[in-house]
Amino acid sequence: MNPKVDFYFNKDSQWQKEYKLLRTIALESGLKEELKWGCPCYVLDKSNVILIHGFKEYCALLFMKGALLQDKAGILIQQTENVQSARQLRFTSAQEIVNLKSTIKAYIQEAIKVEQAGLKVELKKTSEYAVPEEFQKKLDSNLDLKTAFHALTPGRQRAYIFHFAQAKLSKTREARVEKYIPQILDGRGLED
């Protein structure tokens, strides 16, 4: 147990029992406990393997390279369509964790083997994502914008593409694109 992480398990949360059960299971795997992104993260030789985190409707054990696990029980969840590597095991009660304890342990051991083997998730290239039509028109008509956008890191490019594409209405997509053009021209990402 890492004392720097204790606060997470001692803070007031609806998932305290579940967090503590998941912590016990994670520590039994032999992984090193660290604090990353404000959450308990379990590491093998400086590589993140699993993370415990909570949400309003559930708490979860996140497998960083979950896409590479076999998922024989069919219980891993891809958070959104754009998440390429990570997968979650979601829980809404301590009893679910108790019932799945041996399966959770097996998944963690498989995740450790994936890390030991040095396997990597083959990530989609930014160019493989569909650019919303409203943004593509701006890129096609504004060479400075196109140059600035392509000079951004792939992660920043994807963030803009996802943000623009999330809007259901064309009018909203257009407004989002207009709002962020100055930021893109300044070489900044969505959250910079």
Paired tokens of 8: 């997470």
CA distance 34 to 36: 6
Together in a domain, 132 and 105: no
Kindly state whether residues 18 and 107 are assigned to the same domain.
Answer: yes
Q: Summarize pLDDT for 129-176 with one digit per residue, the tens.
A: 889 999 999 999 999 999 999 999 988 998 999 899 989 999 999 999
Overall domain count for the chain: 2
Q: What is the pLDDT of residues 92-124, one digit of tens each?
A: 999 999 999 999 999 999 999 999 999 998 888
Mark 16-37 as b/e (b = at least 16 C-beta within 10 Å): bebbebbbebbeebebebbeee
In this predicted structure, which of 25-29, 56-60, 122-126 has the lowest mean pLDDT? 122-126
| 85 and 148 together in one domain | no
The model carries a pTM of 0.75
Which of 73, 76, 47 is closest to 62 using CA atoms?
A: 76
Euclidean distance between CA atoms 130 and 178, whole angstroms: 19
Domain residues for the domain of 161 are 126-185
172 and 92 within one domain:
no
107 & 137 share domain: no
Q: Which residues contact 185 (CB under 8 A, 6 or more apart)?
A: 144, 145, 148
For residue 47, being part of any structural domain is answered with yes
> Looking at the domain assignment, is residue 121 inside a domain?
no
Q: What is the pLDDT of residue 24?
A: 96
